[in-house]
Amino acid sequence: MAWMCNKCKVEVEEVDDIQLFFKDLSLPEATGYRCPQCGVEYIDSEFVVDQLSAAEQMLEGK
Ligand SMILES: [Zn+2]
């Protein structure tokens, strides 16, 4: 299923270099989608949850 940009109504491109931030924490680059026209980025929310819980575990393990 192709994702569409809500604004431009064009198909977004799959990319793997989306930069995520959680509070002041910089997370590893994520796979997601970027609109080739306006540059808005979409990410798989499940992937984000995984990344955030991994980051939380890292912090708790300190
Ligand atoms: Zn767009």
pLDDT, one tens digit per residue, over 3-52 is 889 899 999 999 999 887 778 877 788 888 999 999 998 887 666 667 66
For residues 40 and 15, what is the distance between their CA atoms, to the nearest angstrom?
12
Within 13 Å and on the Cβ side, how many CA atoms surround 9? 0
pLDDT at 38: 96
61 alpha carbon to ligand 1 midpoint, in Å? Answer: 40
pLDDT at 60: 81
For residue 42, the cross-strand partners are 33
15 alpha carbon to ligand 1 midpoint, in Å? Answer: 14
**What are the structural domain ranges in the chain?**
13-60
2 alpha carbon to ligand 1 midpoint, in Å? Answer: 14
pTM for the whole structure: 0.61
Give the DSSP H or E segment for 47.
helix 45-60
